[in-house]
Amino acid sequence: MPLHALSTTSVEYCELCHGTQFTEVGSKDRAGKALRTVICNDCGLVFSDPRPNTEQIDVFYRESYRLSYKQAYEPKIKHTYRAGKVAQDRLSYLMPLLTPRCRVLDFGSGGGELVFILRELGYDACGIEPNRGYAEYSRDVLGIPVQVGGFTEVEVAPLSLDVVTLFHVAEHLEHPVDAMRTVSGWLREGGRFLVEVPNVESRCIWPSSRFHQAHLYNFNSETLAQAGRLAGFSVEECFTSPDGGNVMCVFEKKECIEETSQAPLIGNAERVAGIIRGHTAFAHALTAHPYVRPWQKLFRQLQEQKAVARFDHGRDVLLHIAHQIERQPPSPPIEGGKLPDGDFDVPASLANQ
């Protein structure tokens, strides 16, 4: 059943600051269907209100999400190629967090592309994927260790992981802070947690495409960083993709859990609301984005068709990408523990999880 067809309940308070005063910033999703989106007046977190209940959300992601999003129960070869290239891009800012033979968990691993490539590169990688079809593909076709389920359903030994990744997952979770606390329990002291989400402040898309039925939350760097702090993490770095479409945070698990209060983020609500209001269709039409992006998409599709024609199976595609990375490792964007301003080639349009 589509997510918009499920019954919904109203949100009583904000996930981050427990504020109760919200302002509507959207009434439709990117497909033109009804979707009330609000911003917390105290901290600037943007979220859907009302929304489906926990049980309905779990069933949707386990049985229907990939089918409704990809029109496939398991990834087609073109999906594997596309996701493999995304994984290759993400390694440019993931690999600086890795050490030889470290244990890595990718939550929301999709068709297992990142996990497969990491294992080919010598890392002890595994995945967790809520969708049954994609998880079974990962295990049966790619031969990688992937559990099926959500944060409360899977089995991960405490203090057993060095790095956890969460690519385009946090915005789908009913309680992202609780999920992050669970991740903290899995990580060893000094472990790193890399989270990437769509940026609610993005100006590289048409305004009508900003909100998505499946995205319960819409973060900017301030609210994403605050979610990590509330879960007990130390914020190491936050940065955005060059087009501004995605925001990433690197968190570290310290020896002592840092206490953070559920306090307002002063000025953030005004900033986010102002960006959303100011990003009109007319303003967007005056930028290069609506004219450049279609040509970029066409070029990628032609590249994809040419590349996919060379392979018979998704596994072969990923082996090819892994061998490319071995021959020419991605240039690390982290220098001396600091991230240069904006030098990251991770277009939002490539993010497909």
Looking at residue 75, its pLDDT comes to 86
Query: Which residue stretches of the chain are H helix?
Result: 54-59, 65-70, 77-94, 113-120, 132-140, 176-186, 221-230, 268-278, 281-285, 289-308, 314-327
Q: Residue type at 42?
A: D
Looking at residue 330, its pLDDT comes to 83
What interhelical angle do 77-94 and 113-120 show, nearest 10? 60
Of the candidates 122, 121, 111, 230, the residue with the CA atom closest to the CA atom of residue 167:
111
Gap between the Cα atoms of 233 and 240, Å rounded:
19
| pTM for the structure as a whole | 0.89
Query: Which residue stretches of 267-313 are H helix?
Result: 268-278, 281-285, 289-308
Of the candidates 236, 253, 231, 255, the residue with the CA atom closest to the CA atom of residue 180:
231
- DSSP letter at 233 equals P
Looking at residue 6, its pLDDT comes to 56
Render 51-77 in DSSP notation, one character per residue. Answer: B--HHHHHHIIIIIHHHHHHS-SS--H
Domains of the chain, each with CATH number or no CATH: 71-260+291-350 (3.40.50.150)
DSSP strand pairing (124-129 vs 146-148): parallel
Looking at residue 261, its pLDDT comes to 78
Question: pLDDT tens for residues 299-341?
Answer: 988 988 998 899 999 999 999 999 999 998 887 654 433 444 4
CA 6 to chain centre: 23
How would you list the strands of the sheet with 103-107, edge to edge?
Answer: 146-148, 124-129, 103-107, 161-167, 187-198, 246-252, 234-240
Residue ranges of the chain with pLDDT lower than 50? 334-353
Render 165-184 in DSSP notation, one character per residue. Answer: EEES-GGG-S-HHHHHHHHH
Q: Residue 50: is the preceding peptide bond cis (ω within 30°)?
A: yes
Looking at residue 58, its pLDDT comes to 72
Of the candidates 191, 207, 295, the residue with the CA atom closest to the CA atom of residue 250:
191
Question: pLDDT tens for residues 110-137?
Answer: 999 999 999 999 999 999 999 988 999 9
Looking at residue 65, its pLDDT comes to 64
